[in-house]
Amino acid sequence: MRTEEQKRKHAECMNKYYHNGYKDSPVLRAYRQREDVKEKKRIDSRRYYEEHKEQCKATSRRISKNLTKEQRAKKAIYNKEYKKTDKYIESQIKYRKTEGGKETAKRSCHNYSKSEKGRLSSATRHNRRRAAKKMVENNFTLEMWKQTLEEYNYLCAYCGSKENIQQDHVVPVSKGGGNTKDNVVPACPSCNASKHNKTLILWMAERV
Ligand SMILES: [Zn+2]
């Protein structure tokens, strides 16, 4: 049996040996690349993580908090690239099937549909489908919708309200109007509903 002192000395010696070249030696590299060794390491780190979850999380929080600007930029690039790998995609597919994954998907879907971006793109998609059904000219993109909104200052083209702006077709799609940049204007729900399938002239005439 080794005494505590001997153990400490041995550890110190091994540490020195490791840092004095052994860590870069081909022998060690070959050992680490063995599949069984890799698998053992994976199991060990997973077990360590499960047993020290809070501690691990705190450490990674502390590290990411103290990153420099360059390190942050590097990390962002790495993450972006990592998300394109099969490994990540497969893990996501697996995660989506778990209860937690289903919850997350539901929540992020809900949040996206409530967000500005989500609302804009869902309206655009809806109108594209509708126009496709009616076989009218159909090339209105999300980019164009954003431009139109800028041009109208995010206000209803008919009454100037800024409430829950929607896409309105000046010439209704049902009357052959295109889903195109020059036929779509922002409208509040009230104007949009009262105009509905009427042409602008007819609607205006009814309003006076
Ligand atoms: Zn309005």
What's the gap in Å between 154 CA and the centre of ligand 1? 11
What distance in angstroms lies between residue 171's CA and the mean position of ligand 1's atoms? 16
pLDDT at 46: 93
Most confidently modeled range among 19-23, 80-84, 132-136, 193-197: 80-84
* pLDDT of 182 higher than 80: yes
Q: What is the pLDDT of residue 119?
A: 83
CA–CA separation, 132 vs 124, rounded Å? Answer: 12
Q: Is the confidence at residue 185, as pLDDT, over 90?
A: yes
Work out the mean pLDDT of the chain and round it to a whole number: 90
Supply angle C-alpha 168, 174, 179, rounded to 5.
Answer: 50
**pLDDT tens by residue, 40-93:** 999 999 999 999 999 999 999 999 899 999 999 999 999 999 999 999 999 999
Report the alpha-carbon distance of residue 184 to residue 166 in Å, rounded.
Answer: 10
Buried b (16+ CB within 10 A) or exposed e, 32-66: eeeeeeeeeeeeeeeeeeeeeeeeeeeeeeeeeee
Burial of 188 (0-12, 13-18, 19+ CB in 10 A): buried
- Tell me how far the alpha carbon of residue 118 lies from the centroid of ligand 1, in angstroms: 22
166 CA → ligand 1 middle, Å: 10
What is the distance in A from the centroid of ligand 1 to the CA of 125?
Answer: 22
Q: How far apart are the CA of 147 and the centre of ligand 1, in A?
A: 19
Q: Which fold has domain 115-207?
A: DNA Binding (I), subunit A (1.10.30)
- Paired strand residues for 186: 167
pLDDT tens profile 101-156: 999 989 998 998 888 888 888 888 888 888 888 889 999 999 999 999 999 999 99
CA 203–ligand 1 middle distance (angstroms): 13
pLDDT score at 159: 93
User: Where in the chain are the domains?
Assistant: 115-207
How far is ligand 1, taken at its centre, from the CA of residue 186, in Å?
8
Ligand 1 centroid–CA 156 distance in Å is 5
Give the model's pLDDT for residue 127.
Answer: 87
Residue 191 alpha carbon to ligand 1 centre in Å: 4
| Distance of CA 173 from the midpoint of ligand 1 (Å) | 19
pLDDT band at 198 (very low <50, low <70, confident <90, very high): confident
In the reported structure, the alpha carbon of residue 185 is separated from the centroid of ligand 1 by a whole-number distance in angstroms of 11
Mean pLDDT of 13-33: 85
Q: Give me the pLDDT at residue 68, please.
A: 92
